[in-house]
A and B are shown apart, each in its own frame.
Chain A
Amino acid sequence: MYRTLQYAILFVVLVLLQVFLFSRIGISIYVHPLVYIAFLILLPIEIAPVSGLLLGLLMGVTMDMFMATAGVNTIATLFAAFCRPTLLLLTLGKDEVKDGGVPNVNRLGLKKFIKYAYVLILLHGIVFFLFEALSLHLILFTLLRIILSSFATLLLVYFCQRLFSINRQRQ
């Protein structure tokens, strides 16, 4: 595995950001950015699906520990990791997936990156907020939370990938 150290740093930074900043500041009950999903988004394209799944599990369990959500993060992150290979195939096509690389804006272009990242964020967010609400009673409220939170997350993930790319270029 190459770039292992960089991904380890990314993992730790994202966990710290999520736990001490984004889950704490409380902008609004509608906006809960789940920025840690950036780790899953930025994993190498060519990574084995099973490795992606296990890394997703690791991230989910870590977040569950710190946010005391007893499984919601794991359920959502595993689901996102499960969908990722198919999603990459759909947005990039077979040839590009074979070439591999880090799926950031430099590699995919802005349009494709946004498409790929947003669908993944949305899949993750839908599962997360539905399982957190655990009822269809306030479905409109939950939908609003999903939409607003996913936009906030997308914005933050965009900044994350920029910082992550800068870090790579320097090397």
Chain B
Amino acid sequence: MFKFFLFIKKIHFVLIFIVLEGFALHYYANSTSYTKAKLITASNYVVGGIYSQLSGLNSYFHLRKENISLTEKVAELENELEQYRHPVYTPDVDSTILNTMFGDTSAAPKNRPQYAYSQARVINNSIIRQENYITLDKGVDAGLQPDMALISDGGIAGYVIGCSEHFSVCMSILNRDFKTSGKIKGTDYFGSVTWDGTSYEYLKLSEVAKYATLQKGDTIVTTSHSSRFPPEIMIGTVESFELNNATYYDVRVKIHTNMAALNNVLVVKYLDAEERETLENSMTIDTESNL
């Protein structure tokens, strides 16, 4: 027994190292982006205020640029609004036909809004890691919740994965766990969008059918397959592409959003997300039980 204790004393340094390292490895191996989001949420209680101050200071340096992009946005919206102010005359015939076919449709709301937009400020953002996250200055108290999309400058930036009272943690598009679908604008050829971790200026669009016609500079936008991002939101432009296995294209996409200088972002809530997910999930359960 005494010898055993001597032995333990001799190797206690190695033993402690192995045990501690084992715990760390175990924790890392079992971590997901959601546990990481929880970690950030926890540390935000301590340093969130400081991040807020720092980014407040930082935002002064970007005021000029922000102003320009805001005016551009205003002009664009103004143009869109103009079309509604002078609606094109549409004959009433259509609605009478519809009424006879489906009953009275006038009772149903015609243009039910699908997305709700709000604004938030980025108070922490990294771009040099393999798993980058964005912290916003608003949380549950401002109505934010997981799975809401982040849009900056008309391009995608990430989505919310966790909220505390006053802060939200978001998955950046520069995160190797990030995944969404994208398509070539104007066509229906789509693929999955991921980040390979090598550059903060490029994303990867893979598994695009070989029948698609691609050109450098083509626009890649989001699809309606996603229950997070609204469709037709800019992802980026085609930088280069190659045919893989003679079956599908892998496309290198230059990100539209300037991820290195995120400041103000739009937070988009998909109002029908819950209904859609419930329906889609119930369908998969049904087909599984039928098998």
Which A residues lie at the B interface, using CB under 8 A? 19-20, 23-24, 26-29, 31-32, 49-50, 53, 57, 60, 64-72, 74-75, 78-79, 81-82, 85, 131-134, 138, 141
Roughly how many angstroms separate A133 CA and B16 CA in the complex, as a whole number? Answer: 26
Nearest first, the 10 A-B pairs at minimum CB distance are: A71-B28, A70-B31, A74-B24, A68-B40, A68-B39, A82-B17, A68-B36, A71-B27, A75-B24, A26-B127
Q: Which of A24, A50, A67, A85 contacts B16 (CB 8 A)?
A: A50
Taking CB atoms, residues of chain B closer than 8 Å to A134 are 130
Secondary structure type dominating chain B contacts: helix
**A contact residues around B197 at 8 Å (CB):** 133, 138, 141
Known: A24-B124, A50-B16, A138-B197. Contact between A132 and B129, CB under 8 A? yes
Q: Is the CB of B260 within 8 A of A70?
A: no
Assess whether A75 is in contact with B12, with CB atoms less than 8 Å apart.
Answer: no
Establish whether residues A79 and B43, one from each chain, have CB atoms under 8 Å apart when the complex forms.
no
Closest-CB distance, B80 to chain A (whole angstroms)? 35
**Which residues of chain B are near A20, meaning CB under 8 Å?**
50, 54
* Residues of A contacting B84 in the complex (Cβ-Cβ under 8 angstroms): none
Are the CB atoms of B130 and A68 closer together than 8 Å? no
- Cα A132 to Cα B262 with chains together (Å): 24
- Interface size range of chain B in the complex: 35 or more
Closest residue on chain B to residue A71 by CB atoms:
B28
Q: Check if B75 is an interface residue, CB within 8 A of chain A.
A: no
Q: Which of B39, B54, B127 contacts A65 (CB 8 A)?
A: B39
Against A, the Cβ 8 Å flags (1 = close, 0 = not) of B18-56 are 001100110110010001110110110001001000100
Residue of A nearest to B13 (CB): A49
Contacts of B50 in A (CB 8 A): 20
Given contacts A29-B128, A32-B129, A65-B42, contact A71 B196 (CB under 8 A): no
A65 to chain B, nearest CB (A): 5
Do the beta carbons of B24 and A138 come within 8 Å of each other? Answer: no
Looking at the complex, which one of B13, B127, B133 makes contact with A68 (CB distance below 8 Å)? B133
Q: CB distance A29 to B39 under 8 Å? A: no
Residues of chain B from 54 to 80 with CB closer than 8 A to chain A in the complex: 54
Query: Who on chain A is nearest to B18 by CB?
Result: A82
Chain A residue numbers with a CB within 8 Å of B13 are 49-50, 53, 82, 85
Cβ-defined contact, A53 with B198, below 8 A = no
- The SS class assigned to the A binding surface is helix
Residues of B within 8 A of A71 (CB): 24-25, 27-28, 31
CB-CB < 8 A to A78: which residues of B? 17, 20-21, 24
A131: chain B residues within 8 A (beta carbon): 28
Most buried by A among B24, B25, B124: B24
Is A28 touching B128 in the complex (CB atoms < 8 A)? yes
> Which residues of the partner chain B approach A24 to less than 8 Å between Cβ atoms?
124, 126
A–B pairs, 25, beta carbons within 8 Å: A19-B47, A20-B54, A23-B126, A26-B127, A26-B200, A29-B128, A31-B128, A50-B12, A53-B13, A53-B20, A60-B24, A66-B43, A68-B37, A68-B131, A70-B28, A70-B36, A71-B24, A71-B28, A74-B28, A82-B21, A85-B13, A132-B131, A133-B130, A138-B196, A138-B197
CB distance B28 to A72 under 8 Å?
A: yes
With A53-B17, A74-B20, A131-B28 given, name 15 new contacts (CB 8 A). A20-B50, A23-B126, A24-B124, A26-B126, A27-B128, A29-B199, A32-B128, A68-B40, A70-B36, A74-B24, A74-B27, A75-B28, A82-B21, A133-B197, A138-B198
* Assembly CA distance A130 to B159 (angstroms): 27
* A82→B19 CA distance, assembly (Å): 12
